Amino acid sequence: MFFTLNDGTKITLNKHSRLTYTDTYGKNNRHVKLDGEAFFEVVNNPATPFEVAFDHGTKEDVAIKVLGTVFNVRIDADPERIIATLVEGSIRFESEERKITMVPNQQLTFTYADKNVDIEVVDVEKEIAWKDGLLKYRTIPFTQLIANIGKEYGTDIRIINKELTDPSMMVSGTFDEKQPLEQILKVVSQSLPFTWTRKGDVYYIK
């Protein structure tokens, strides 16, 4: 879902995500609250910084504050964590214990359980491919790809062939999220040979 706020800020929401804000947005504040994942293109306004807060099960206040920038952010439920990826400009991550300013191509992961913060340089185009309806993966373990696809399609996919669970089994690819699951499995099986069967709502990879 794509929409524009009254200050010109553009937001793309991933599926199963929700953004909330009050009627005062753009007047004396630019505060929004996110549940899920969103891509933001924020209009610059030094007098009124843009702030993203999060719906989560813990009590600690965590937010991302910006002036004008382009970034992606999501909150995961298990484990409960926030993942922010900066495309352009700069953003500041704020928790009760620290404030961290990010630069383009950095990805910050904050885990609620231990309040740990990790920052790494990532392939930004891969991280934001979802907003164009794509699933993009580059050199990741086959087990991770299957876990991601299963989550994306809400389907239980189990790897029976133990050789395929070896961390050295790496795959890459770009798929349209509108492709049927079995079509994606067929494409992947051309580079990493495997077969699969379906019993009920469960897929078994052999």
pLDDT attached to residue 178: 80
> With a cut of 70, which residues of the chain have pLDDT below it?
56-60
CA distance 65 to 168: 39
pTM of the predicted model over 0.85: no
Burial class of 96 by CB neighbour count within 10 A (0 to 12, 13 to 18, 19+): exposed
Enumerate residues 6+ apart whose C-beta is below 8 A from 125: 136
Q: Where are the domains of the chain?
A: 2-124, 133-205
Closest CA to 86 of 98, 103, 100: 103
pLDDT attached to residue 7: 92
CATH code for the structural domain at 2-124 = 2.60.120.1440
pLDDT attached to residue 77: 80
End-to-end CA distance of the chain: 37
Question: What is the fold of 133-205?
Answer: Phage tail protein beta-alpha-beta fold (3.55.50)
Helix (H) or strand (E) holding 47: none
CA distance 126 to 31: 28
* Cα 109 to chain centroid, rounded: 11
Helices (H) and strands (E) in the chain, counts: 3, 18
pLDDT attached to residue 84: 95
pLDDT attached to residue 78: 77
